[in-house]
Amino acid sequence: MRIGQRQYHLRHLRKVSVHRHCLFPEAASPTLGASHHFSVPEFAVPKIEVYSTAVCPYCVSAKNLLKSKGLEWSEVRIDIDPAQRDLMLARSGGRRTVPQIFINDQHVGGFDDLVAADRSGKLAELLGSAA
């Protein structure tokens, strides 16, 4: 891979997230030999779960917000799997509307809660909270 005039050796690159393409040339890397010219910092990839249904404008808005931040999530369709609906109710303290969003197993809430968390800084905090 060539970036500018510098040759990077990609065979040791560990993929941390498709949305996090951060190369740090010349950074210290005790595990790589002298012929390698980069290191890749390890990021904790947040686990994001979105409980949703097929027809759900608020789900679309929530996913668009996550997407705009380069985040990935797993979608749990409660209209397809009733057991997942029960699980959503249990995990969210009885919330019945979709979406219900969880980040690193912490309940965020619906779309409006996600927006509020983004504005307050709570979302950034949650995204950094992977164990």
Shortest Å distance, C-beta 57 to ligand GSH = 5
Residue 26 CB, nearest approach to ligand GSH (Å): 46
Give the nearer residue to ligand GSH in terms of CB position, either 59 or 126. Answer: 59
Sites of contact with ligand GSH (CB under 6 A): 56-59, 96-99, 110-112
Closest residue to bound ligand GSH by CB:
110
Is cis: bond before 99, omega within 30 of 0? yes
> Which of 40/103 has CB closer to ligand GSH?
103
CA angle 22, 25, 28 (to 5 degrees): 105
Give the whole-angstrom CA distance, residue 57 versus residue 61.
Answer: 6
Minimum CB distance to ligand GSH, residue 73 (Å): 15
CB of 103 to ligand GSH, least distance (A): 15
Provide the 8-state DSSP code for 48. E
Beta bridge partners of 109: 101
User: Tokens 């993929």 label which residue?
Assistant: 15
Nearer to ligand GSH among residue 15 and residue 119 (C-beta): 119
Residue entry with tokens 């995990």: 91
The residue (of 40 and 59) whose beta carbon lies closer to ligand GSH is 59
Runs of H (alpha helix) within the chain: 57-68, 82-91, 111-120, 122-127
